[in-house]
Amino acid sequence: MNNLHEKRSEAGCRGGLATLAKYGADHFKKIGAEGARVFWKRYRFEPVGMDDFAIVRRDNHAVVALLSGLPFQRR
Q: What would the pLDDT profile of 3-33 be if each residue is shown by its tens digit?
A: 888 899 999 999 999 999 999 999 999 999 9
Looking at the domain assignment, is residue 73 inside a domain? no
Looking at the domain assignment, is residue 53 inside a domain? yes
Distance CA 26, CA 30 (A): 6
Domain count, the chain: 1
For residue 46, what are the CA distances in angstroms to 3, 28, 62? 39, 29, 11
Domain that holds residue 47: 3-66
Question: What is the arithmetic mean of pLDDT over 57-73?
Answer: 91
Looking at the domain assignment, is residue 17 inside a domain? yes
Distance CA 55, CA 42 (A): 10
What is the predicted pLDDT for the residue at 58?
97
| Whether pLDDT at 74 is above 70 | no
Looking at the domain assignment, is residue 40 inside a domain? yes
Q: Which residues contact 37 (CB under 8 A, 6 or more apart)?
A: none
Confidence of residue 73 (pLDDT cuts 50, 70, 90): confident
Looking at the domain assignment, is residue 39 inside a domain? yes
